[in-house]
Structure 1
């Protein structure tokens, strides 16, 4: 199992200068390698026997791939000696980032979804460098020893769990300072609980009136962090737009704006974690709608949908459930609000109608509560729950047969 812990870094003034210098050089190398791949792709994207009649055939060369670009790094350190200051594996990780970016453009990710054409990064947009391998025992008290960089002070607000091994370390520059992200590996794989309590299965319906409603009727109010911060963000954005490009005052205003956006993001993330912990402490199985959040973010409700952060919340909920050996089940979102949770008949209603009244069976309850009950019912067809239900039924049958024999 892999997990990530993030800590605040407290570098000295000289170390801040050094980190910024590394990021600047790595950004330049990233753009150079990306340009090399892009140029080859533009010049060789058509076969020789299928090119237009009037064209310029470039000098043919091999496709720059991951290994050929890694081989250029020793020569880079000879022609540009200042790159020798950077740890070799950190430079190699830049080549890997270029490869991943270009592969997503040409082939797509694991789900087959392709990204747009890669673009060059500005210096202020290249914020992270990674050590793909780091020695065990790199953490010494409240300091971390980074190869060819030195020891940097870390705020260890929580200890690393016993048995976890540090695999990679990343240094990231954010609006309010520098952070260290440690990727940890634990050899023990958590197993799903062998028996789920049928009373601890729930369905949740996420929404914009309430953040979520459970099938038990419990609601969690929506905090709307971004909308509450809009007034302050508007003032800071105007301040940035009035400053002269390239001036120190503009940089200061941009930093203030970035800090405010980070505060909003941190509040939302904290709310998501607290809500996920609350649900997982009460339930063993949680069912939710398999939503197309990207599609919803293109509607008139885009600001509210993105402010709620459903995708982030469901990802956090799923990851924490896996670590705890619990189960989170996505189900089809089709007609969960329209179907009656009691009789199953379809009761059409528009979005502004927030109450469900069934003319067939007389069921009357909140629209979101009705949807949550439908979501819970659909989750009962999950293979894991089916298998455990069959197992429990067989056990009950065996116990009944044993009792009849004893009688």
Structure 2
């Protein structure tokens, strides 16, 4: 079973937009109520039976079962009788809100942290139609249950042989979007390691260093627009909360954040396609992204979004038939790719790799990328390629990368 997600811009009418906004609000209320019900049940089991809190204690009978997804789903029927606003929302849309909460609890249980939080007004921005009897998309419009037909911009056709299984409606600062989840009963074989291998090393001085000696500059998407964001947030602070001007500044802030996200994502896709065009195998470091998001360089690491880039590179490599794998990142900058000697720990200001044993000299990040490539070749059982003795200090990769310009933000959709 192969699944794809295509995103398209939709244009609801004024009545449809009001209904979509009301659905988002009702889903938010159902989500928050179900979350409060689970939190109360958990809190009532924390205190010992012979003690209670100093101020107050929320007590639930001991024989009350845990409010899991199925019990809360069955309670929706009674809730619709007491709250008439819930009847206007598609039943499966409300059930998906409960399913989203249940996934959050299961994900928290797996990783051990990240308790789900309540959604404030305006923070719940999407809902899902989980199934359709027939294709809801025609050439110029999409038909959603209880919403009706609305215009859709099919800027690219859906692939042949795929059926629309689900539709997610997303509300962004730039407008409304419909994400079509397409499925097809086809089996795609795994990409086998073959072709020209390259290794990549991610960093802050340069966004990317390739084992061939090419370097990719790191655009400062968030940092370049941080002054404009700070100015908007200072204006928001001086407005009365909930007023019309307050909401206008909020919309500008959301639009700026979306602009930064779009430009960064476009840069990641362009870089991934360029790497896949020059290689048959790509090896990258298996970074501990949780640790890189802490410390004094956390803002710059999050701005580079290495984790998002690696996920995009993995997807683009699969689509282009390029083998992609991750290797152990320990000691890549302390190993000579020419003679495998341990060169010792380098300071961040030391940007050149020089081996005292073999005399190999090259850019520090390029040397690390070459070590990554060699480790990847060993993992797949192929012959290790040694770099040339006359190492270069790195050459910039020619590319047309988007930059975050100051001024009015634009959408890249």
Q: Distance in 2 between matches of 1:73 and 1:98?
A: 15
Q: Show the 5 A alignment for 1:1-400.
A: 1-45=2-46, 51-52=49-50, 58-59=60-61, 60-105=63-108, 107-108=109-110, 113-194=111-192, 196-197=194-195, 200-348=196-344, 349-382=346-379, 385-386=380-381
Closer, same or farther in 2 for the Cα pair 1:296/1:193, shift >3 Å? closer
Q: Distance in 2 between matches of 1:171 and 1:335?
A: 45
Q: 1:190-232 deviations in whole A, cap 9, x for unaligned?
A: 22345612xx110001111211111111122211111221222
Q: Can you give the 5+ residue segments of structure 1 that lack an aligned partner in the other structure?
A: 390-407
**Per the alignment, in what secondary structure is the counterpart of residue 189 of structure 2?**
coil
Q: 1:261-316 deviations in whole A, cap 9, x for unaligned?
A: 11111000000011111111221110011111221111211121111111100001
Structure number with greater CO (CA < 8 Å, separation at least 6) is 2
Q: Distance in 2 between matches of 1:303 and 1:65?
A: 38
The TM-score, its normalising length taken from structure 1, stands at 0.88
Q: Distance in 1 between matches of 2:278 and 2:156?
A: 25
Q: Distance in 2 between matches of 1:203 and 1:7?
A: 35
**Per the alignment, in what secondary structure is the counterpart of residue 230 of structure 2?**
helix
Instruction: Compute the displacement of 1:13 (Å).
Output: 1.4
**Per the alignment, in what secondary structure is the counterpart of residue 337 of structure 1?**
helix
Q: Distance in 2 between matches of 1:172 and 1:234?
A: 27
Q: 1:356-384 deviations in whole A, cap 9, x for unaligned?
A: 111111111111111111000000122xx
Closer, same or farther in 2 for the Cα pair 1:302/1:162, shift >3 Å? same
Q: Distance in 2 between matches of 1:373 and 1:58?
A: 60
Q: Distance in 2 between matches of 1:241 and 1:54?
A: 41
Q: Distance in 2 between matches of 1:194 and 1:302?
A: 36
Closer, same or farther in 2 for the Cα pair 1:194/1:124, shift >3 Å? closer
Count of matched residue pairs: 376
Closer, same or farther in 2 for the Cα pair 1:53/1:310, shift >3 Å? closer
**Is 1:287–1:331's contact at 8 Å kept on the other side of the alignment?**
yes
Q: CA RMSD in A?
A: 1.8
**Per the alignment, in what secondary structure is the counterpart of residue 325 of structure 2?**
strand
Q: Distance in 2 between matches of 1:98 and 1:226?
A: 30
**Per the alignment, in what secondary structure is the counterpart of residue 380 of structure 1?**
helix
Closer, same or farther in 2 for the Cα pair 1:259/1:73, shift >3 Å? same
**Is 2:193–2:281's contact at 8 Å kept on the other side of the alignment?**
no
- 1:395 counterpart residue number: none
Kindly indicate which of the two structures has a greater share of residues assigned to helix.
1
**Per the alignment, in what secondary structure is the counterpart of residue 326 of structure 2?**
strand
Q: Which has the larger radius of gyration?
A: 1
Is the deviation greater in 335-344 or in 95-104?
95-104
**Per the alignment, in what secondary structure is the counterpart of residue 333 of structure 2?**
coil
